[in-house]
Amino acid sequence: MDGPTFPVETDLERLAAIVRSTDDAIVSKSLDGVIRSWNPAAERMFGYTAEEIIGRSIYTLVPPDLHDEESQILARISAGEHVTHYETSRVRKDGRRIDISLTISPIRNTRGELIGASAIKRDITRQRELEAQLRQTQKMEALGQLAGGIAHDFNNILTIIQGFASFLTRALPPGAQGHEDVQGIARATERASGLTEQLLAFSRQQSLKAEVFDLSPVVAETAALVERLLGEHIEVKVQLADAPAWVHADRGQISQVIINMALNARDAMPAGGTLTLGTFVDPVARQVVLSVRDTGSGMDAATRSRLFEPFFTTKPRGQGTGLGLATAYGIVTKSGGHIEVDTEPGAGSVFRVVLPARRPTPVTPSPAPSLEDLRGGETVLVVDDEPELVRLVARILHSYGYSVITAAGPGAAMVAFGERTSRIDLLLTDVVMPGTTGPVLAERLRGVDPDLVVMFMSGYSEESLPPSINGRKAPLLTKPFTPDGLARAVRSVLDRNAAERVPRTGSPV
* pLDDT of amino acid 141: 66
278 φ/ψ angles, rounded to the nearest 5 degrees: -150, 165
d(Cα 257, Cα 249) in Å, to the nearest integer?
Answer: 12
Closest residue by Cα to residue 262 from 290, 289, 243: 290
d(Cα 6, Cα 291) in Å, to the nearest integer?
Answer: 70
Do residues 217 and 326 share a domain? yes
* pLDDT of amino acid 315: 54
Q: Report CA dihedral (126, 127, 129, 131) to the nearest 10 degrees.
A: 170
* Bridge partners for 454 per DSSP: 427
d(Cα 190, Cα 188) in Å, to the nearest integer?
Answer: 5
Quick one: pLDDT band at residue 509, thresholds 50, 70, 90? very low
Do residues 215 and 357 share a domain? yes
Range of the domain at 59: 16-123
CB neighbourhood size of 93 (10 A): 14
Give the best-scoring range by mean pLDDT among 272-276, 369-373, 493-497.
Answer: 272-276
* Bridge partners for 246 per DSSP: 214
Does residue 256 fall inside a structural domain?
yes
Judge if the upstream peptide bond of residue 480 is cis by omega within 30 degrees of 0.
Answer: yes
Give the best-scoring range by mean pLDDT among 121-130, 169-178, 194-203, 306-315.
Answer: 121-130
* pLDDT of amino acid 321: 47
Does residue 271 fall inside a structural domain?
yes
Which residues, at least 6 apart from 147, have a Cβ–Cβ distance to it below 8 Å?
199, 200, 202, 203
CATH of the domain at 491: 3.40.50.2300
* pLDDT of amino acid 129: 78
Does residue 409 fall inside a structural domain?
yes
Please give the share of the chain, as a percent, with pLDDT higher than 70: 81
Closest residue by Cα to residue 32 from 89, 117, 103: 117
Quick one: pLDDT band at residue 21, thresholds 50, 70, 90? confident
Q: Count the helix, strand and coil residues of the chain and give each as a percent rounded to the nearest 5.
A: 40, 25, 35
In this predicted model, what pLDDT tens digit does every residue of 95-112 receive, in sequence order? 999 999 999 999 998 888
Do residues 351 and 215 share a domain? yes
Task: Name residue 207's amino acid.
Answer: S
Contact 324, 264 (CB under 8 A): yes
Q: What is the mean pLDDT of residues 209-232?
A: 89
- Considering only 136-150, 211-225, 273-287, which range has the smallest mean pLDDT? 136-150
Q: What is the pTM of this model?
A: 0.52
* pLDDT of amino acid 147: 64
Do residues 31 and 75 share a domain? yes
* pLDDT of amino acid 363: 59
- Stated length of the chain: 509
DSSP 233: T
Q: What is the 3-state secondary structure (H, E, C) of 167-218?
A: HHHHHCCCCCCCHHHHHHHHHHHHHHHHHHHHHHHHCCCCCCCCEEEEHHHH
Q: C-alpha distances in angstroms, 508 versus 287, 373, 423, 438, 462?
A: 51, 24, 21, 30, 31
Average pLDDT, the chain: 82
d(Cα 166, Cα 186) in Å, to the nearest integer?
Answer: 8
Q: Output 129 or 90, whichever has higher pLDDT.
A: 90
* pLDDT of amino acid 143: 63
Contact 407, 424 (CB under 8 A): no
Q: What is the mean pLDDT of residues 413-430?
A: 90
* pLDDT of amino acid 276: 96
Do residues 265 and 350 share a domain? yes
Does residue 34 fall inside a structural domain?
yes
Which residues, at least 6 apart from 338, have a Cβ–Cβ distance to it below 8 Å?
332, 354
Does 506 have pLDDT greater than 60?
Answer: no
Do residues 249 and 341 share a domain? yes
Does residue 152 fall inside a structural domain?
no
CATH of the domain at 113: 3.30.450.20
CB neighbourhood size of 266 (10 A): 20
SS3 category, 410: helix
Does residue 369 fall inside a structural domain?
no
Do residues 322 and 232 share a domain? yes
Task: Name residue 56's amino acid.
Answer: R
CATH of the domain at 320: 3.30.565.10
Do residues 321 and 386 share a domain? no
- Considering only 7-16, 36-45, 159-168, which range has the smallest mean pLDDT? 7-16
Does residue 321 fall inside a structural domain?
yes
* pLDDT of amino acid 396: 92
Helix and strand numbers, DSSP H then E, in the chain: 14, 17
Task: Examine the fold and report which residue of 123, 153, 169 is the final residue of a domain before the chain moves on.
Answer: 123
* pLDDT of amino acid 53: 94
Do residues 424 and 309 share a domain? no
Task: Examine the fold and report which residue of 90, 123, 156 is the final residue of a domain before the chain moves on.
Answer: 123
d(Cα 254, Cα 439) in Å, to the nearest integer?
Answer: 32
* pLDDT of amino acid 4: 53
* pLDDT of amino acid 301: 80
Task: Examine the fold and report which residue of 361, 396, 411 is the final residue of a domain before the chain moves on.
Answer: 361
Which residues, at least 6 apart from 7, have a Cβ–Cβ distance to it below 8 Å?
none
d(Cα 389, Cα 107) in Å, to the nearest integer?
Answer: 76
Specify the number of domains making up the chain.
Answer: 3
In this predicted model, what pLDDT tens digit does every residue of 434-468 receive, in sequence order? 888 888 999 999 989 988 999 998 876 555 555 45
